[in-house]
Amino acid sequence: MENPLIEAPVPPVPQDVEPGGVGWLRANVARFSRPEDHARRRALVLDELATMGALRDKAFALTREMRDGGVDRILWTVPVAVLAAELGLPDVSRDIVAVSGSYHPHTGIGDDAEEAMRRLIEVCGGGVAERTAARIGLLVQACDATAKLVGKALAAHRSDEDAEGLLDRVLREDPPVRITRRWVGGEVVEVDLSERPFGAGPKRCLGEAQARQVAVGILDALLC
């Protein structure tokens, strides 16, 4: 049965932070926003996603190019590289991986993540506007979850499944993100996502369709 707490607010993050670091990113992305900021920041992400197209084909082509580099490199590079190209950015996968390890409020922020943030902001034009945070946040959120999703799918593959069917089954049986955190009664609680792997309500993942396209493209290339 779906957990109704999934639609509760996310835990608040500090707002009085230095511009340009991981703390600034947390304070300016839609995912961790207060209700009064969420709709505006959500719209920025939707604007970026709206221009993306043919992601399955692009992920397939890049995966085929990288096949000699090993599966792990593909999983942690292709999702970010494909989406970054759609944003008009170079391959920033190395820096996005560094930031993704410190992105969530319950994690510590390492020096490598702060240095990566500085480089990412520079690549995005050097400004610390909300649109910059939206673009970096989009790539960070695509990084870890998509890599884990494709990795689980490869491990669970059956010979009679195509990539789309395999992906659907893994999302039902063993989704890459099983727990999220919500703010309930002034406390942080963990919420089970097993019934809704892309979330629900105002905080539902905005890039579900794009993530699926990229994941299927990678699987098409690795399983054919």
- Write out pLDDT tens, residues 173-182: 999 888 888 8
Write down the pLDDT at residue 58.
Answer: 98
In a domain, 21, yes or no: yes
- Give a yes or no: residue 29 inside a domain: yes
**Which of these, 134, 139, 17, lies nearest to 86 by C-alpha position?**
139
The DSSP bridge pattern shows strands 179-184 and 187-192 to be antiparallel
Is residue 37 classed exposed, middle or buried when 0-12, 13-18 and 19+ CB atoms within 10 A define those classes? middle
Residue 1 lies in a domain: no
Residues 12-36: what's their mean pLDDT? Answer: 94
Q: Could you report the per-residue pLDDT of 38-50, keeping only the tens digit for each?
A: 999 999 999 999 9
Indicate which CATH number applies to the domain containing 152.
Answer: 1.10.630.10
3-state secondary structure 198-211: CCCHHHCCCCHHHH
Task: Report yes or no on 72 lying in a domain.
Answer: yes
Instruction: Kindly state whether residue 117 falls inside one of the protein's structural domains.
Output: yes
How does pLDDT run across 56-115, given as a tens digit for each residue?
999 999 999 999 999 999 999 999 999 999 999 999 999 999 999 999 999 999 999 999
Domain membership of residue 124 (yes or no) is yes
Is 8 a member of any domain? no
- The number of domains in the chain is 1
pLDDT at 1 over 60: no
Question: Is the pLDDT confidence value at 118 over 70?
Answer: yes
- Residue 76 falls within a domain, yes or no? yes
Least confident among 52-56, 79-83, 151-155, 184-188: 184-188
pTM of the model: 0.94
Q: Can you list the alpha helix ranges (DSSP code H) found in the chain?
A: 22-28, 35-50, 55-65, 71-86, 93-100, 111-123, 130-156, 163-173, 208-223
Contact 158, 72 (CB under 8 A): no
Residue type, 216: V
Range of the domain at 168: 13-223
